[in-house]
Amino acid sequence: MTWHPPSKPVGPYRAGMREGFAQWRGWDYTDVVDVRDDWCIDDAWHWFLTATFEGEQHAVAFATRTPSTDVDGPWPGIPRAAWRSSLDHGGYVEAVERTREAIARGDVYQANICRILQAEWPDGASLRGLARALRDHHPAPYAGLLDVPAGPGLPDGLGVVSASPELFLARDGTLLRTAPIKGTAPTAAAMLAKDEAENLMIVDLMRNDLARICMPGSVRVSRLFDIEEHPGLVHLVSEVEGRLASDADAWPSISTLLPAGSVSGAPKSSALRIIRALEGRDRGLYCGVLGVASGGVATLAVGIRCFVRRGPWLEFGVGAGITWGSDPEGEWRETELKADRLLAVAAIADVPS
């Protein structure tokens, strides 16, 4: 079904549509009619929401929604050797060790330490071509694409291809649901006791986060320690839900949950201080949030397993949750496990004629 925009004018693009395209969970979105730098949105449009890990928000309104088509475009591939990491092996292992020292001091219980892989954007490439490669070789629950060129409200544009496995927030009216991932291994049998401890800490954090904006007594854990299989690995996933206290200011309230607990740590404020001190650069859309909201219904994913275009670069982030029981070399291997399959997909050259 095609969504026909209402007659009321909104936003700076009411005089005409703007170029842009998004794809999300079975739908294509076209005809950009508004761009905002916060989540103060209305229900008149289909909004693609993004937020960086550092808190910069954007909302892009699309007037038209149609069933998804097969996206296509050139993708010349990026060789695995072309990627450079913000933290090399030695730097990442040292960051894990310093996080364990902070845990021993009682500064934090758990912190997610990440590194950003960066490669030059290939000549003649398109985000749609990369999205096609991921669709064909790495299906994901929250696969999606957002490609909006630079223009008013977006001086640098927005370009991201998602293969995220993690739900940040599903909203259906007042019902809110989050499904944090904590615990990663090649197989279910390879999960460690540390993985359950790490997951439980984040579940408790998300319970507290939701309790700030939900009706008293409505927050509950609906799933705990479920094993989910994804291409090349398994995750430990739990689920927390609650009832929004009021939908009058729903999106500003929901934005107070940023960043996601699973990609920050517990306590969140302490974890964020450690992350800023150890990682050496911003994360941007990696570990942020992306997804679609319209009419009080939304599905937003955590921005992991995502390729983000930033100027002349393509970036891909990986990380691991660090607890006292972490082995620094093991955490490095976990980041390699998370990256290997997706970087292998990105290396597949496929340039349509």
Q: Which range has the top average pLDDT, 7-16, 40-49, 178-187, 309-318? A: 309-318
Fold of 18-68+82-342: Anthranilate synthase (3.60.120)
pTM given for the model: 0.92
State residue 332's pLDDT score.
Answer: 97
Q: Please compute, for residue 203, the number of CA atoms within 13 A of its CA located in the half-sphere on the CB side.
A: 20
State residue 265's pLDDT score.
Answer: 94
Q: How far apart are alpha carbons 39 and 240 in whole angstroms?
A: 23
Domain boundaries, the chain: 18-68+82-342
Among 53-57, 150-154, 198-202, the range scoring the smallest mean pLDDT is 150-154
More confident: 295 or 50: 50
Looking at the chain, the whole-number percentage of residues with pLDDT higher than 90 is: 81
The answer, yes or no, to whether residue 266 has pLDDT greater than 50, is: yes
State residue 13's pLDDT score.
Answer: 45
The answer to whether 215 and 241 have CB atoms below 8 angstroms apart is no
Residue 137: both structure tokens together: 């070789």
Q: What pLDDT digit, counting tens, does each position of 126-161 carry?
A: 999 999 999 999 999 999 999 999 888 888 899 999
Q: How confident is the model at residue 1 (pLDDT cuts 50, 70, 90)?
A: very low
Q: How confident is the model at residue 242 (pLDDT cuts 50, 70, 90)?
A: very high
More confident: 201 or 353: 201
Q: How confident is the model at residue 249 (pLDDT cuts 50, 70, 90)?
A: confident
Please say whether the dihedral angle defined by the alpha carbons of residues 309, 310, 313 and 319, taken in this order, is positive or negative: negative
Average model confidence (pLDDT) across the chain = 91
State residue 8's pLDDT score.
Answer: 35
- Own/partner long-range contacts of 84-91 (Cβ < 8 Å, ≥24 apart): 84/117, 84/118, 84/119, 85/115, 85/116, 85/117, 85/118, 86/115, 86/116, 86/117, 86/118, 86/279, 86/280, 86/281, 87/115, 87/279, 87/280, 89/332, 91/115
State residue 17's pLDDT score.
Answer: 64
